[in-house]
Structure 1
């Protein structure tokens, strides 16, 4: 698969195999193959990854805001191995289900402390 990383991956919506939205690609991690050719290794999702990418005061503010919602600091990015990507178009499509992916620490905190406390939240129709 060949493409322009910045234009075709960054800020694209991630969609699981069932069509559920997973998040947006906030940053990308590269590695080198045996011939020292770079390739996309991991997609990074979440405010920690976005804050690092943005940088400066705004990036630090994003990270600090996210850290208010987690017990383990520093806030870490959700890491999605690139081999789970099946295609890239207006979105990045994955071959895995959302519940098979690691959960974002911020989303886990929000689910535990807010969403699960909403009456009927466990019985949402889908």
Structure 2
């Protein structure tokens, strides 16, 4: 077994507009065997799955994984971290590696005239 050499989360940008779905990506490099990838909004949120693709690295022995996940955020999610958790296959409690990105949510304010 080889734990991942690197894990990164991309796709959130500087700010995310509230209630707008965004697609984020988690890249996992050089892992063996192919690990499971889960997503979690905040430290205590439920584990979610994305769509994962598996490729073989040039060494022919380790895998490169990429998981995409669609998520939206509310104003209550301001400064929440979105986590990508890489776990041993079939054991979601054995976390090999994590990466996260903090979310900056921009809110839509509606002005009403009285």
Whether the TM-score (by the shorter chain) exceeds 0.5 is: no
Higher helix share: 1
Q: TM-score, normalised by structure 1?
A: 0.29
Higher strand share: 2
Q: TM-score, normalised by structure 2?
A: 0.31
Higher relative contact order (CA 8 A, sep 6+): 2
